[in-house]
């Protein structure tokens, strides 16, 4: 089985930076994913890390440390539209493709 932990909620101001942490304990590992999900909508793929280090994609960056079982998603220059749930997911090394998700972090961006 797997445990994937992330904070329940974070609040930040428009234009600021927010870092969402995710820790995981897995029997296997084949990549860590971050998804954004607006209320009532499907998750949207944001980023993917399989090797240690930082992946940058515009305003969003994701970091992975496999030895520590730790990842973070960094959201820069926050915009109101970034208010959403952010899901951390681990691809189980025993089964190609299947994802195990955390419960999600609700990010609230205030003016």
Partner 1 sequence: DTGVSQNPRHKITKRGQNVTFRCDPISEHNRLYWYRQTLGQGPEFLTYFQNEAQLEKSRLLSDRFSAERPKGSFSTLEIQRTEQGDSAMYLCASSSRTSGGSYFGPGTRLTVT
- Given the rule CB under 8 A, which residues bind partner 1? 4, 33, 35, 41-45, 48, 87, 89, 95, 97-104
**48, 55 contact by CB (below 8 A):** yes
- Closest separation in Å from C-beta 36 to partner 1: 11
**Could you give the CA distance from residue 42 to residue 16 in angstroms, rounded to a whole number?**
26
Cβ nearer to partner 1, comparing 13 with 95: 95
**42, 97 contact by CB (below 8 A):** no
Cβ nearer to partner 1, comparing 17 with 103: 103
């Amino acid at each position: 089985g797997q445990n994937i932990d992330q904070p329940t909620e974070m609040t930040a101001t428009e234009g600021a930076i927010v870092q969402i942490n995710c820790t995981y304990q897995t029997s296997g590992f084949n990549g860590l994913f971050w998804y954004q999900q607006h209320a009532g909508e499907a998750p949207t793929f944001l980023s993917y890390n399989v090797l240690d280090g930082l992946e940058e994609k515009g305003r969003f960056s994701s970091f992975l440390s496999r030895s520590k079982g730790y990842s973070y998603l960094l959201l820069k220059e926050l915009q109101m539209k970034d208010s959403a749930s952010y899901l951390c997911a681990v691809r189980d090394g025993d089964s190609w493709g299947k994802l195990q998700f955390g419960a999600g972090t609700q990010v609230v961006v205030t003016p």
